[in-house]
Amino acid sequence: MLDIKLLRKDPEMVRKAIQVKCEKSNLDFILELDQKKREKLVQVENLKSQQNKANKEITKLKLAGEDISEKVAEMSDIVQQIKTLDAEIAEIEPKLEQELLWLPNIPAEDVPEGTEENNKQIRTWGEIQQKNFPAKPHWELGKALGIMELERATKITGTSFTMLRGQGARLERALINFMLDTHTKNGYQEINPPFMVNRKTLTGTGQLPKLEEDMYHAVKDDFFLIPTGEVPLTNFFQDEIIPGETLPIHFVTVTPCFRREAGTYGKDTRGLLRVHQFQKVELVHFVRPENSYDSLNTMLHNAENILQKLQLPYRIILLSTGDMSFSSAKTYDIELWASGVEKWLEVSSCSNCTDFQARRANIRFKDKGGKTQHIHTLNGSGVALPRLLVSIIENYQQENGNITIPEVLVPYMDGLKEITPEK
């Protein structure tokens, strides 16, 4: 949520942010509601001042034994006016609050304007290895090896659900353990959060109200299956004041993620490329405002470290204003190369949300001077499993269809160095 003072001070900057982020917030209506509320608050304060004055005059008249009926009538009129104005303010406030929830975060100054085609490649790492045989996509390799059960997953649930089997499931577990071990050694505290959250929690991180149609909703309890571990981790300190001396705080978790992705049907749906349920290792930072962009670089480095250890070629993309998330001020995507589908696949988005989520979730800290401020929150995938598996399976495939296990994962696979057909 944006600070209402910013809207009043620089509405044109907010208007531009709405435009470049391709959002549809009604800023003029918000400013109108805010102005009405402020005017009525001024009226209430003036009336309360009159009320106090009338009270004092009534007390004096009583002590003097004089008639107070006129002043009492005046007082009653003032009280009624205050009640009327309080009711009008109470009617405006939820409307204003709801409209404010539709305002996106302000992009950082160095974020390129535009949509996906305006994204900027920052750097690459590793070399794409050209194979001397036709590379196969992961769904063909997975079926031949017996490590993927895509058809059975569809039978059990529906399209865009997947199931790993045998060494495929073991490989995913190895990756999870490897990533958690790596991140915790780098100072992250592991959290095992709930996988269902309430409306307030999703509103805090910015998924609601905008993305409700993309959520899996347990209607009876009004709970939602989480779309990412970012949601419960960021809300860990919801409605709290964090002691300043404890900052920065770095959390890591692995959770299933559930996404209906109502607007993406038909896009990259084969195999593990786009699914409704998947595992993801998530990183979340809580930091002082002055440190948040340094923290973004740290988070990006932590995610890159995973891919470098796995010896997977990747590139870093700075997202444009129109390709960033609603809550983000600046986002870097990490994309892995997959030789079978011959595509760059996003496996991580690392975002600085500045104080946007903290205002929505009411997360604050006390600075060195004892002043209470909103904290800055950051989140990033460290990393997501499905496309990571795709990249490993396709890049490490051999001509005979077997999959070489990345060296760093061998200890997590009990010494297994190669995935061969299941017997």
- CATH classification of the domain holding 291: 3.30.930.10
- Assess contact for 103 and 30: CB atoms under 8 A: yes
Give a yes or no: residue 183 inside a domain. Answer: yes
Supply φ then ψ for residue 188, to 5 degrees: -85, 140
Say if residue 265's pLDDT is above 60. no
> pLDDT class for 262, splitting at 50, 70, 90?
low
258 contacts 231 by C-beta, under 8 angstroms = no
Q: What is the mean pLDDT of residues 244-262?
A: 93
CB of 104 closer than 8 Å to CB of 21:
yes
Q: By the 8 A CB rule, do 129 and 263 touch? A: no
Q: Does residue 110 lie within any of the structural domains?
A: no
Residues 348 and 373 in one domain: yes
Structural contact between residues 260 and 340, judged by C-beta atoms closer than 8 angstroms: no
- Same domain, yes or no: 253 and 345: yes
Mean pLDDT of 82-102: 96
**Mean pLDDT, the chain, as a whole number?**
95
CATH value at residue 59: 1.10.287.40
Identify whether 139 is part of a domain: yes
294 or 268, higher pLDDT: 294
pLDDT greater than 70 at residue 264: no
- In a domain, residue 296? The reply is yes
Residue 111 lies in a domain: no
| pLDDT score of 72 | 84
Q: 170 to each of 165, 277, 300, 353, 356, how far by Cα in Å? A: 8, 18, 27, 35, 39
73 domain residue, yes or no: yes
Pair type for strands 223-225 and 277-287: unpaired
Residue 15: pLDDT band with limits 50, 70, 90? very high
Residues 123 and 174 reside in one and the same domain: yes
Is the same domain home to 306 and 398? yes
Residue 402 has pLDDT above 60, yes or no: yes
Do residues 254 and 362 both lie within one domain? yes
Average pLDDT over residues 237-260: 97
Q: Are 128 and 218 contained in the same domain?
A: yes
What pLDDT, on a 0 to 100 scale, did the predictor assign at position 268? 67
Indicate whether 191 and 91 sit together in one domain: no
Predicted pLDDT of residue 385? 97
Q: What pLDDT was estimated at residue 266?
A: 53
Residues 253 and 327 in one domain: yes
Residues 192-217, mean pLDDT to the nearest whole number = 97
Indicate the number of domains in the chain. Answer: 2
Q: Are residues 92 and 163 in the same domain?
A: no
What pLDDT digit, counting tens, does each position of 113-138 carry? 999 999 999 999 999 988 999 999 99
Question: Residue 351 sits in which domain range?
Answer: 116-419
Of 100, 135, 150, the one marking the end of a domain is: 100
Cβ atoms of 395 and 127 closer than 8 Å: no
Q: Considering the domain boundaries, does residue 107 fall inside one? A: no
In a domain, 352, yes or no: yes
Residues 211 and 156 in one domain: yes
- Judged by average pLDDT, the poorest of 43-52, 104-113, 178-187 is 43-52
Read off the pLDDT band of 250 (50, 70, 90).
very high
Indicate if 215 and 158 belong to the same structural domain.
yes
Whether pLDDT at 422 is above 90: no
**Residue 95 clears pLDDT 60, i.e. is over it:** yes
Does residue 175 sit in the same domain as residue 235?
Answer: yes
Residue 136: other Cβ atoms inside 10 A: 18
